[in-house]
Amino acid sequence: MAQHKIGKTNAMRILDTAKITYTVREYEPEEADHLGEHVARSLGLDPDAVFKTLVLKGDKTGYLVACIPVAKTLDLKALARVSGNKSVEMIAVKELFPLTGYLRGGCSPIGMKKKFPTYFDETIILFDQVNVSAGQRGMQLALAPQDLLAASQGITAELTAD
């Protein structure tokens, strides 16, 4: 039986260079409002351990990245506070690819065109392994939270609305 060869994404190349262990999980992508929840269901994962990557712009610091569990809602005021901004707002979808090199549904916190301050919801440390986009729709990276934080130079903070 022929094996499907996975093409390396920029995120994978960065992890390989850093000698960080990860597993690639593939799923059938779907165009839906709740892409992350579809990923968790498709792969049989706890939605709290699957993190979506959101790109925003702060009024003082410029672009920044927030990674939160897929079923949660980002608390914009909390992110603004922790990032040194008065306010933050999501960027338009049309800005995502030119800014990051990633498409909606395939945006990874690792390997964007430019390095942006990256914030992870503090719950990330509760898991032995978490999942984030591999940088392409239909692919997730599973890795240890401390490795993800190191690879993305991420900061943990309380980021979700209760």
Which DSSP string corresponds to 40-101? Answer: HHHHT--GGGBEEEEEEEETTTEEEEEEEETTS-B-HHHHHHHHT-S-EEEPPHHHHHHHHS
pLDDT in tens, 66-92: 999 999 999 999 999 999 999 999 999
131 has a pLDDT exceeding 70: yes
pLDDT over 90, % of the chain: 83
pLDDT at 35: 72
Other beta carbons within 10 Å of 134: 26
Mean pLDDT for all residues in the chain: 92
Question: DSSP code of 130?
Answer: E
Domain chopping of the chain, boundaries: 10-157
CATH topology assigned to domain 10-157: YbaK protein (3.90.960)
Do 65 and 118 touch, CB atoms closer than 8 A? Answer: yes
Q: What is the value of pTM for the model shown? A: 0.92
Do 49 and 69 touch, CB atoms closer than 8 A? Answer: yes
In angstroms, the CA 93 to CA 100 distance is 11
Top-confidence residue, 161 or 142: 142
Q: What tokens does 132 get?
A: 């984030």
| N- to C-terminal Cα separation, the chain | 48
Do 147 and 131 touch, CB atoms closer than 8 A? Answer: no
